[in-house]
């Protein structure tokens, strides 16, 4: 890389770091008054100013930017009310165990308030501590915001954490907001009755952005800032080219094909990241080709790839298994497959007939590739030949794979067609 590419590299770095930073992404989507950002901010800030308790759920598919919006709101509020706010963050994946969750709450409370945290404190100690802290903070007019990520996982088990949190919020002295974040739309239905009755049932739904929003988002993310360390003319040229691409019908088509499968913000970011990382550093500009390769690389068909990876012998095995399935044998194993393989060989006189041990090994390769699998775990100490197996590819997929396979024996294709 020569010196003249420095701006290109810098631009690439800038774009990549943007795409990895969800807070940057959600900003342009959140300025309208009916956006989730505004609603959430209003709810939380009102409960801070009015010193009351609140609870709400943020629901939406995975990757729709719930946490990003929440973070944005919280960082704004922390600037607004620096002294009267403390945030406790829990994650269902980490703290779904009640004991663990209380410990983590106690730890974060201690961190926040510069208290001594004891690792050995018991469950009761911790929950007592939390209640006391809630009361103390309420008296000091300090709001505690509990963020429960993966909220549905907290609803497993006895829900003691949720109960004690929501129960504590029934009293006047405490001052807290519980914000649950979940990708299950029925997350509030998972709650027990005693918990549900204490929950406020406020829900914010996160929907995929509209097409116009997406256009704005793309422009916002991909265009370079004019006032920066980058050379001015480079920036202008870059943005001009980008505008051309964004206006291009083919580009819209690419984006649409991608969004057809998944239209959440985060997936789109992954796609954009991939495209940006293909940017040619020599020229230093994005091209339509980048997006096209990114699309083909990110939308993969693993089954087809797997079939393409197979050797001829493995294909024979797959086809004989498929034939067994067509014959409606309810269960079959390696031995019956071998029999079928032999009949294929006998009727077509193929050149690919191998001994049993070779076939066993090929069979194991298929198991490894997860194109086939054992139907049950019962005969675990049986040898591999006798355990019942099943195909994990549909016959359509298999047929397609065979057709796209280079130098696939014509016998197999013929067998697949009947």
Partner 1 sequence: MADNEGEEIISRGNEWEVVSLTASTYAAAPGPKNVEQNNDSKSDVAVENIGETSHALFMSGHFVFPPSEHENLPLEPAKTEIHNEPVGKDVVSEFDAKEGGRPSGKDDEENWTKGLSVHNEFPGIQFLDEKDNRLSIHGTEFEEGTTLKGLNLSDKEESIYSAATFSSFHGEAALSGSTTYDENMETPELTEPSERGLDLSADESKPAKPANDEEHTDSDLPCGAWWKRRAASFCAHAKEANTIWSIFIAAAVMGIVIIGQQWQQERWQALHLKWQMSINDEKTSRMLGPITRLKDAIVGGHRRGSFVEIVLFLPLRKISTKAFGGFLAGKHSLHIFPNLATHIRVFFFLIDTTPQLFIQYGDVPDSEIEIKLMAKEKEESPQVSRRSTRYSLSNSNSNNGIETEKLNESCKTTLDNLFFGQEPISLDDLLSCFPGRRVQILEVLSHLGPINSSMPPMFIYGSASTGKTSVVLQIFRHLNRPFVYVSCLTCYSPRILFESILNQLLLHKKNAANGYSSAKKCEKPSDFINFLREALINVINRFNGNSGKMSTSKSKGVQVNGRMIYLIFDSFELVREWDKSSTILPFLFGLADNLKMPEVGMIFISNTSPNMYHSSTGYIDPVPVYFPEYTEEELRQIFMINQVNRKLYSSFLDIVLRPFCRITRRVNELSTAISMLFKKYCEPLSDVGVVPNEEMKRKLFSHLQPHIAPSLNEIFRVASQSSLESEANQETRRKGSGRKSVSCGDFDEIDFHMSTSAKYLLISAFLASRNPATLDASFFDSTGGSDGRKRKRKASEKTTGKKEAAEQELLMKGPGTFALERLLAIFQCITSVGEDLLDEEEEVDDGLRVGGGSNGLMSDVLLQLSSLCNGNFIVKGASCPLDGSTRYRSTVSEELALKVARSIKFPLSKYLYRR
- Cα–Cα distance, 244 to 29 (Å, whole number): 23
Residue closer to partner 1, measured from CB, 55 or 96: 96
Which residue among 370, 376, 394, 404 contacts partner 1 (CB under 8 A)? 370
Per CB under 8 A, does 289 bind partner 1?
no
Applying the rule CB under 8 A, the residues between 236 and 265 that interact with partner 1 are: none
Shortest distance in whole angstroms from residue 294 CB to partner 1: 9
CA distance 329 to 246: 54
- Cα separation, 287 vs 182, in Å, equals 37
Using CB under 8 A as the binding criterion, the count of chain residues that bind partner 1 stands at 83
Distance from the Cα of residue 296 to its chain's centroid: 19
Tell me how far apart the alpha carbons of residues 24 and 222 are, in angstroms, rounded to a whole number: 12
Among 78, 185, 360, 413, binds partner 1 (CB under 8 A): 360
Among 67, 176, 195, 411, binds partner 1 (CB under 8 A): 67
Among 210, 311, 343, 394, binds partner 1 (CB under 8 A): 311
Per-residue CA distances from 100 to 66, 86, 93, 115, 312 (Å): 24, 20, 11, 19, 53
Among 130, 187, 336, 344, binds partner 1 (CB under 8 A): 336
Per the listing, tokens 């065979």 go with: 402
Q: Please give the Cα distance from 333 to 335 (Å, whole number).
A: 5
CB of 262 to partner 1, least distance (A): 9
Cβ neighbours for 183, distance < 8 A, ≥ 6 positions apart: 59, 60, 61, 62, 64, 66, 152
Q: Interface with partner 1 includes 384 (CB under 8 A)?
A: yes
Interaction with partner 1 in 73-112: which residues (CB under 8 A)?
A: 91-97, 100, 104, 110-112
Buried-state track 106-142, b at ≥16 Cβ within 10 A, e below 16: bbbbeebeeeeeeeebeeeebbebbbebbeebbeeeb
Question: Distance between CA 160 and CA 258 in Å, rounded?
Answer: 42
Q: How many residues does the chain have?
A: 418
Minimum Å gap between C-beta 54 and partner 1 is 25
- Non-local (6+) Cβ contacts of 196 within 8 A are 188
148 contacts partner 1 (rule: CB under 8 A): no
Residue closer to partner 1, measured from CB, 71 or 219: 71
Interface pick for partner 1 out of 79, 120, 172, 396 (rule CB under 8 A): 120
With CB under 8 A as the contact rule, the residue among 117, 163, 348, 374 that binds partner 1 is: 117
Q: Are 57 and 151 in contact (CB under 8 A)?
A: yes
Is position 172 an interface residue for partner 1 (rule: CB under 8 A)? no
Q: Give me the least distance between CB of 300 and partner 1, in Å please.
A: 6
Please state the closest distance from residue 367 (CB atom) to partner 1, in A.
8
Binding mask 176-215 for partner 1 (x = CB under 8 A): -------x--------------------------------
Q: Which is nearer to partner 1, 172 or 261 (CB)?
A: 261
């Amino acid at each position: 890389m020569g010196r003249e590419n420095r701006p290109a590299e810098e631009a690439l770095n800038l774009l990549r770091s943007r795409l990895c930073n969800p807070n940057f992404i959600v900003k342009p989507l959140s300025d309208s008054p009916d956006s989730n950002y505004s609603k959430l901010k209003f709810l939380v800030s009102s409960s801070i100013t009015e010193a009351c308790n609140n609870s709400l759920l943020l629901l939406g598919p995975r990757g729709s930017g719930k946490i990003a919006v929440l973070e944005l709101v919280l960082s704004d509020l922390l600037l607004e009310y620096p002294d009267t706010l403390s945030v406790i963050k829990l994650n269902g994946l980490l703290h779904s165990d009640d004991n663990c969750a209380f410990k983590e709450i106690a730890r974060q409370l201690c961190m926040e308030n510069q208290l001594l945290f004891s690792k050995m404190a018991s469950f009761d100690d911790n929950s007592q501590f939390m209640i006391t802290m809630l009361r103390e903070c309420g008296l000091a007019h300090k709001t505690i915001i509990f963020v429960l990520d993966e909220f549905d996982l907290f609803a497993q088990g006895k829900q003691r954490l949720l109960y004690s949190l929501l129960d504590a919020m029934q009293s006047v002295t405490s001052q807290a907001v519980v914000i649950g974040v979940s990708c299950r739309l029925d997350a509030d239905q998972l709650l027990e009755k005693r918990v549900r009755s204490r929950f406020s049932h406020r829900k914010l739904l996160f929907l995929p952005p509209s097409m116009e929003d997406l256009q704005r988002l793309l422009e916002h993310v991909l265009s370079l800032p004019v006032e920066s360390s980058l050379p001015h003319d480079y920036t202008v040229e870059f943005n001009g080219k980008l505008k051309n691409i964004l206006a291009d019908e083919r580009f819209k088509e690419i984006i649409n094909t991608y969004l057809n499968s998944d239209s959440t913000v985060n997936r789109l970011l992954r796609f954009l990241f991939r495209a940006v990382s293909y940017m040619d550093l020599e020229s230093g500009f994005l091209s339509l080709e980048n997006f096209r390769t990114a699309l083909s690389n990110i939308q993969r068909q693993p089954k087809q790839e797997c079939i393409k990876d197979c050797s001829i012998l493995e294909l024979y095995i797959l086809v004989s298994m498929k034939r067994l399935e067509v014959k409606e044998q309810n269960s079959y194993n390696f031995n019956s497959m071998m029999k079928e393989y032999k009949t294929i060989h006998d009727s077509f006189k193929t050149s690919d007939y191998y001994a049993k041990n070779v076939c066993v090994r090929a069979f194991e390769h298929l198991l490894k590739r997860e194109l086939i699998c054992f139907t049950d775990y019962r005969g675990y100490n049986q040898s591999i030949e006798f355990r019942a197996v099943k195909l994990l590819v549909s016959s359509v997929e298999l047929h397609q794979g065979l057709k796209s396979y280079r130098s696939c024996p014509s016998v197999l294709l013929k067998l697949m067609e009947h």
